[in-house]
A and B are shown apart, each in its own frame.
Chain A
Amino acid sequence: MKRKVITFTRIVRTGITNFVRNASLAVAAIAVMVVTLTIVLFSLVTSATMNHTIAQIADKINISIYLNDSVTTQQSNNLLAQLQKLPEVKSVSYISKDRALAEYKAENSNNKDLLTAINETGNPLPASIQIDPVDPSKIDQVQKILTEPSTTQLENPQAGTSYSGDRKAAINQIAHAISVLKEVGVLAVVVFALVSMLIIFNTIQMAIFNRRDEIQIMRLLGASTWFIRGPFVVESVVYGIVSALISIALIDLVFVVASSALQASSLGLLDINYANNYFYGNFVLLLTLQLALGIVIGAVSSFIATRRYLKFRLK
């Protein structure tokens, strides 16, 4: 037991000493790891921000059913309850004729002529039921209810539902684009993560290739597998930790510079404010993720890279 503790502390100490002594190699390996980890982190934040923007757009997509003036409260409540039960519906709200008018007036408060015209004609606006779907691309059941004769007979013959014609096509297109964008975001993060793992693995493998003689000498002196491999794993893990810290500091710097220099709240689809909030809101999680990624890739790469030089190849 005591011997194991001695050996373990020796492995850790040797690994750290090697890290310090191999400074030039360490700098190269860390530079590569920093770049790749930063790309992964950046794609993660970007994809989260895109998802947020997409969710905002998706939130604005709703379907309104304009009701006939003759529809009773009983009838509209029935339809409301029927829609509420659907799992694909987030919320349903009833907008009465009076509320529709009030909202219309509020929206057009600058247009005096329109307001007087409206006041003179009484209330021409229909009452409506507004449906917020959970996911605008999944509204089959809502659509089914909307096309049932029991529903269509309640609809205002002039207005009908907002989910028809050009608007229907637009909603469907946006819904499709949203699901594609989400998939692309996930795919990008996964691809970047995989590519960076390969690059880091290669870098560590090259570093160990440079020192294969050392491994073979230790082998000849009778060192056990873990006594040789341990320090290499520790060294690579230190690479991972240092790289993760530098990479997160880099991204942090980017946000500090972006918020002060750019003065813009968004770049196209990229809502910088949200990205900023997301980054600092999930700082501990992202830091842990980066560290875990650095440590795991470092450990696994050095484990695999040392394996071939540790084998006893007796001829």
Chain B
Amino acid sequence: MEIQGKILLTFGVLSLLTLALFVVVAWSSRGSPKDYAEVQPAGYGVRKVWFWVLLAAIVVAFGLSGRLSPYSRAEAAPDAVSFPIVARQYVFENIPEVVPYDVPVVFNLTSIDVNHGFAIYDAKDRIIGQVQAMPGYANDLRVTFKEKGKYIVRCLEFCGINHAFMQGSFEVR
């Protein structure tokens, strides 16, 4: 399963659990009411546990996100093949026709007009990585292609009237 599918699954499971909790609580309100002072102590106990669980989840997620972020990955591939690419309304200039397979590659992005995005779509039309192209700045996107075939690049930062048609492609082999 691609990462997007896993994210969607995570979202779906957590959402269903949330909705179930809201339904259960709403349902509980239908019976004879209890005095608020009676339910508060147990509720505050649950809240304390919930606080520590959420805080622990946040600490773990923060640590993992830092370790797996594209920034740390960028530093880990100093011997990559570099492709400088210039974005402008509504083309990507210098996109290579062929990109090497299973070799660290750097797409060095800048823009000569407005902000653009540079998102690489695989054969299943899923984003495998992206970076912004910004006037006056250079952004490096590092990728190692593990599958051969045709890849499409789409602009993902709104850049004007033909934004939806700003795209390019390359072959990995």
Partners in one complex: no
Q: Which A residues fall within an 8 A CB radius of B?
A: none
